[in-house]
Amino acid sequence: MKLTKAMTTLTIGVLMSLHTTAWAQNSAKEGLERIKTNLTNSKTNLQEYEKNLKTVDSNITEVGKAKSQVEGQQKQVQQQVEENNQAMTRIGNQEKELQKLMADEKNKITQESQKIQEYEAMIAKIKENQKKREMNISDYQLQLTQLQEEKKIWNSRAANLKEQKDQVTQKMRSLASEENEWKAKQKGYQGEVKRWTKEVERQQKISDSYNSLAEVK
């Protein structure tokens, strides 16, 4: 939201000594008009800076809301990242376990092949065992293939989550910078409001004194 800055120029009136017994009527009127002009300009400046301060306060509130929303997104993405890492760990452990089972089965096939030569009477049984173990290997291989496909999906999801995390981080940095900028403006406008409030009070006192003097005359 665009801010406006009051550029009203104060006309500095020169007050003559209050103890002077006689002033020219025209000079008195001019002095009074200058005081009134200063008071009006001071009030105008105060209104402008109060308006600007309200605008800054509103913008800071909106930035805070956006920041809270992004923080929620950040937590959600972080949770998804953790879930993805857990899934990757689980798949990795299952993959190692299946590879170990396959290696065990292959070793047993080698051992049993040697026994065929030594124990011909057990050839039929051993061959039957081999068939079963081959089936096991096929089953394990199928499971391994499925896990590898699932692993590809999780890897793809990890890349997407990283991109989302980077985007959220960038949003947080941008909002933090914007918040600091608005707070700096807020501080400046608060100082202006305080300064012009004092100026209005000062001009009001001058006006009241002048009016009292005019009434005495």
Task: Tell me: pLDDT of 143 over 90.
Answer: yes
Q: What are phi and psi of 111, to 5 degrees?
A: -65, -40
| Mean of all residue pLDDT scores within the chain | 82
Domain presence at residue 182:
yes
**Per the structure, how many domains does the chain have?**
1
The pLDDT of 135-152, averaged and rounded, is 93
* pLDDT score recorded for residue 148: 92
* pLDDT score recorded for residue 27: 76
Whether the Cβ atoms of residue 57 and residue 32 lie closer than 8 Å to each other: no
Whether the Cβ atoms of residue 35 and residue 203 lie closer than 8 Å to each other: yes
CA angle 193, 197, 202 (to 5 degrees): 150
* pLDDT score recorded for residue 71: 84
Task: Among 64-73, 102-111, 165-174, name the one with the lowest average pLDDT.
Answer: 64-73
Task: Among 11-15, 71-75, 91-95, name the one with the lowest average pLDDT.
Answer: 11-15
* pLDDT score recorded for residue 7: 36
| pTM score of the predicted model | 0.32
Domain presence at residue 158:
yes
Whether the Cβ atoms of residue 179 and residue 63 lie closer than 8 Å to each other: yes
DSSP letters, 150-191, are HHHHHHHHHHHHHHHHHHHHHHHHHHHHHHHHHHHHHHHHHH
Task: Tell me: pLDDT of 5 over 50.
Answer: no
Tokens for 72? 């929620």
Q: Is 119 helix (H, G, I), strand (E, B) or coil?
A: coil
Task: Tell me: pLDDT of 2 over 60.
Answer: no
Report the distance separating Cα 92 and Cα 166, nearest Å.
Answer: 26
At 163, is the pLDDT very low, low, confident or very high (cuts 50, 70, 90)? Answer: confident
* pLDDT score recorded for residue 26: 66
**What pLDDT, in 10s, does the model give residues 151-160?**
988 888 888 8
**What pLDDT, in 10s, does the model give residues 6-36?**
333 333 333 334 344 444 556 777 888 888 8
Q: How far is CA 12 from CA 198, 207, 212, in A?
A: 16, 13, 20
Task: Tell me: pLDDT of 100 over 90.
Answer: yes
Domain presence at residue 202:
yes
Domain of 163: which CATH number?
1.10.287
Domain presence at residue 30:
yes
Q: What percent of the chain has pLDDT over 70?
A: 86
Domain presence at residue 100:
yes
Task: Tell me: pLDDT of 1 over 70.
Answer: no
Domain presence at residue 20:
no
**What pLDDT, in 10s, does the model give residues 185-205?**
999 899 899 999 998 998 888
Domain presence at residue 16:
no
Domain presence at residue 183:
yes
**What pLDDT, in 10s, does the model give residues 117-134?**
787 777 787 788 889 999
CA angle 69, 1, 171 (to 5 degrees): 30
Give the residue numbers spanning the domain of 43: 25-216
